[in-house]
Amino acid sequence: MAEGEVQVDIKPAVNEDDDFVDPWTVTGKSDTGIDYDKLIKRFGSQKIDDELIQRFEKVTGKKAHHFLTRGIFFSHRDLNTILNLHEAGKKFYLYTGRGPSSESMHIGHMVPFMFTKWLQDVFDVPLIIQLTDDEKVLWRDLKIEDARKMAFDNAKDIIAVGFNQEKTFIFNDLDFVGQCPAFYQNMVRIQKCVTFNQVKGIFGFGESDVIGKITFPSIEAAPAFSTSFPFIFENKVLPCLVPCAIDQDPYFRMSRDVAARLKMPKPALLHSTFLPALQGAQHKMSSSDPNASIFLNDSPKQIKNKINKFAFSGGQATVDEHRLKGGNTSVDISYKYLTYFLEDDRRLAEIKNEYESGVLLTGELKREAINVITPWIQQYQQRRAKVTDEIVESYFKIRPIKL
C-alpha cells in the first residue's frame, strides 16, 4: 500500500475545496484536518455509529477499542456481515498491508496495525499481511533487491506490534508471487475483469503510466480472496475483513466489484483516519519529512524535542489569553495524538476540559502527550529489539494456519 511521496496522473478531486485522498496523496483543506464525514459520502462507505459499536461489543463480548469509540476507525463496509458470521460461529480472516520504505516507520503507520492486532485477538482469526515491495519498485527509483530488503526490515517493525505468529502470515510480493501459483492465478482472474478505463477512473492512471502501475491494483486485491492462499485456507472460500487507512479504499472498491464478478465474497472494510503530521492536521504524518513525524526509533529526547518544537498548538497567543479563552483541541496536535495513544477515557476527558477551559497550558498539554507517547515507543522498541531474522522467517514461512 502506498504513501504520499509520488504523484501519478491524479484524478482531480470533485471540487477545489474538497480534501484530496487517494493512495498516493492525502491533503486536507481545513486546519481541523480531513472532513471524514464528507469522505464517507464521497467514497460511499458507512459511518461506524454508536449502534454498530454496541453491536460489536454485544457480539464479541469485548469492550470496544478506543479507536472505535473515538472515531479513529470511523467508516466501514459490511462490518455487519462479519459480525453476523462471528455470531454464527463462522470464520473469516483479516488482511492488511504496507508499502515498505527505507525510512523508519512512524507512529502513524502503527494505527492500522495496532487495531488489526486487537481485531485478531478479539476474533481469533488468521491474518494476512502483504508488503507491496513490487509497488515501490514501480513507483520509485528503486531496485528489486533493495525493495525486498526494505520489506524484510519493515516486517520486523510490524511483527513488534505483537501479532500472534501462529495465526499470522506475512509476505512480500516480489518473493511470494513466485512461490504460490494460486496467487498468480487469482491475479489473472482479477486482471481479466478490470479494464484500463476502470483503473483510470478509480486510481487516476493515465496513458503515460507504465503497465506495471496499471496492473498493480490486481496484486493488492488478490489477498482479499482466500483462494489466493491454499496452504492456509485449503481452497475454502472465506470472507475477508480489511482494516486499513481510508486512502486504500479505492483498491477495495475495485476488489468488491471484482468479487461480485468472480462469485466470491466481497471483502469487508474498516477505515481509519490519518494520524496528523506534527505541523498540523491538513497533512498526515509522512516518513519523507523527519520534522513532521515521530519515528519508532526516536529517542525520548527526540520525541520530547519534536513535540515541544513542532507540534501545532491550539493554545492562545499569551498565557493570559489562554487562561481566559482556553485552547482549541480540534486543531491541537498534541491533543490529537493523545486521542490515539492515551487509552484512559476519563483522563482524556479531563485533559480536554482542562485545556479547553484554560486550566492546562500548551506546554503542559505537550508534556501529557510526551508522557504517553514516550513509554509507548519505549515498550515498542523493547519488543522490536527481540525480533530476530529467524522470527521474521517464521512469519514468512508458507505453512498451514489453524483457522
Question: How are strands ordered across the β-sheet holding 268-272?
Answer: 46-47, 73-77, 268-272, 240-245, 93-98, 127-131, 168-172
Say how many Å lie between the first and final Cα of the chain, rounded: 26
In sequence order, what E strands does 37-126 have? 46-47, 73-77, 93-98
Among candidates 387, 391, 395, which has minimal Cα distance to 105?
Answer: 387
**For residue 87, what are the β-bridge partners?**
none
Q: In this complex, which beta carbon is closest to its own copies, that of residue 41 or of residue 143?
A: 143
Phi then psi for 244, rounded to 5 degrees?
-160, 165
Minimum distance from residue 38 beta carbon to its own copies (Å): 30
197 sits near its own copies (criterion: CB under 8 A):
yes
Residue 393 C-beta: closest distance to its own copies, Å: 15
Nearer to its own copies, 36 or 171 (CB): 171
206 binds its own copies (CB under 8 A): yes
C-beta closer to its own copies: residue 212 or 363: 212
Tell me: does residue 235 bind its own copies (CB under 8 A).
no
In a 10 Å sphere around its CB, with 0-12 CB exposed, 13-18 middle and 19+ buried, how is residue 221 labelled? buried
Q: Is 214 in the site for its own copies (CB under 8 A)?
A: yes
Residue placing its CB nearer to its own copies in the complex, 177 or 359:
177
Q: Which of 14, 210, 237, 349 binds its own copies (CB under 8 A)?
A: 210
* 300 lies in the site for its own copies, by CB under 8 A: no
Q: CB of 62 within 8 A of CB of 83?
A: no
Q: State in angstroms the smallest separation of the CB of 163 from its own copies.
A: 24
Size of site (CB under 8 A) for its own copies: 40
Residue nearer to its own copies on the CB measure, 193 or 296: 193
Is 91 near its own copies (CB under 8 A)? no
Chain residues 163-192 in contact with its own copies, contact rule CB under 8 A: 173-185, 188-189, 191-192
Position among 29, 55, 200, 367 found at the interface with its own copies (CB under 8 A): 200
Grid coordinates representing 104 are: 523508519
Considering only residues 19, 22, 78, 134, which one is a binding residue for its own copies as defined by CB under 8 A?
134
Shortest Å, Cβ 32 to its own copies = 38
Phi, psi of 348 (to 5 degrees): -60, -40
By C-beta, is 188 or 324 nearer to its own copies? 188
* Residues 101, 2, 217: CA angle, nearest 5 degrees: 130
Binding of residue 215 to its own copies (CB under 8 A)? yes
Residue 310 is a binding residue for its own copies (CB under 8 A): no
Q: How far is the CB of 206 from its own copies (least distance, A)?
A: 8
Query: How many residues in the chain?
Result: 403
Q: Between 138 and 331, whose beta carbon lies closer to its own copies?
A: 138
> Residue 44, by phi and psi: left (phi above 0), alpha (psi -120 to 50) or beta?
left
Q: Which range binds its own copies by CB under 8 A, 131-139, 304-312, 323-331, 354-362?
A: 131-139
- By CB under 8 A, which span of 32-40, 208-216, 235-243, 340-348 interacts with its own copies? 208-216
- Pick the closest to residue 175 from 402, 4, 395, 401 (CA basis): 395
Handedness of CA 260, 264, 270, 272 (dihedral sign): negative
CA atoms within 13 A on the CB side of 179: 12
Q: Is 150 in the site for its own copies (CB under 8 A)?
A: no
CA dihedral sign, ordered 315, 316, 318, 321: negative
Question: 6 in the Ramachandran plot: left (φ > 0), alpha (ψ -120 to 50) or beta?
Answer: beta
State how far the Cα of 81 lies from the Cα of 77, in Å rounded to an integer: 9
| Antiparallel, parallel or unpaired: β 127-131 and 93-98 | parallel
| Residue 212 lies near its own copies (rule: CB under 8 A) | yes
Q: Which of 31, 58, 84, 211 binds its own copies (CB under 8 A)?
A: 211
When the beta carbons of 8 and 129 are compared against its own copies, the nearer one is: 8
Q: Does 138 bind its own copies (CB under 8 A)?
A: yes
Of the pair 178, 400, the CB lying nearest its own copies is at 178
List residues binding its own copies (CB under 8 A): 134, 137-138, 144, 173-185, 188-189, 191-197, 199-200, 205-212, 214-215, 217-218
